[in-house]
Amino acid sequence: MSVSHAPSEKDHNQLTLCQRLIVHKSYQSQEELRRDMQLHGFESISQSTVSRLLKLLGVIKIRNAKGQKIYALNPQSQPAPDAARSIAEMVMSVEHNAEFVMIHAVHGYGRAVARILDYRALPEILGVVAGSSIVWIAPREVQKTAQVHRRVLQTLGLR
């Protein structure tokens, strides 16, 4: 008899980070990915954990434009967008720098998240641009980017 455990917050955070790193950077080896995950706060992550995360995400190896084999998310293993998903399940991260706010969403949900922000018509936001997994938010005043970041988190119910 096997006992299944619900994934911990740490497991969820590792999976989310792994997915985000693979989407935004090319990795030729699990060791490269493991080192980047260590730099992002998972100092003691093992190679076997990275291997398990890749399997859970359905990651495949493809050839890039340079002919190198790199890890990529398998488009066929990605879930079809589902309007019944909560926003917390759609959003992987919300970050900002001095000039804009960036939301990393699960593939296929970027436009849905942007639509929610557009619908709210937050006066602090000048504009929102979305792709399938990225939402770029331009604050009306760049001096208030950190405030816009907090307001976006609040509006999406993430804090």
- Predicted confidence at residue 84, as pLDDT, reads 57
- Predicted confidence at residue 50, as pLDDT, reads 95
Q: pLDDT digit string (tens) for 95-107? A: 999 999 999 888 7
Which residues are within 8 A (CB) of 139 and not within 5 positions of it... i.e. 6 or more apart? 99, 100, 101, 124, 125, 126, 145, 148
- Predicted confidence at residue 80, as pLDDT, reads 56
Please give the chain's pLDDT, 159 residues, in tens.
444 444 577 888 898 889 888 877 889 999 999 999 999 999 999 999 999 999 888 888 888 777 888 888 876 665 555 555 677 777 878 999 999 999 988 878 889 899 999 888 999 999 999 988 899 999 999 999 999 999 999 988 877
Q: Where are the alpha helices (DSSP H) in the chain?
A: 9-24, 30-39, 47-57, 87-90, 110-120, 145-155
CATH class entry, domain 9-77: mainly alpha
- Predicted confidence at residue 90, as pLDDT, reads 79
- Predicted confidence at residue 4, as pLDDT, reads 41
Domain-by-domain residue ranges, the chain?
A: 9-77, 87-155
Relative orientation angle of helices 30-39 and 9-24, to the nearest 10 degrees: 120
Q: Is domain 87-155 classified as CATH 3.20.20.120?
A: no
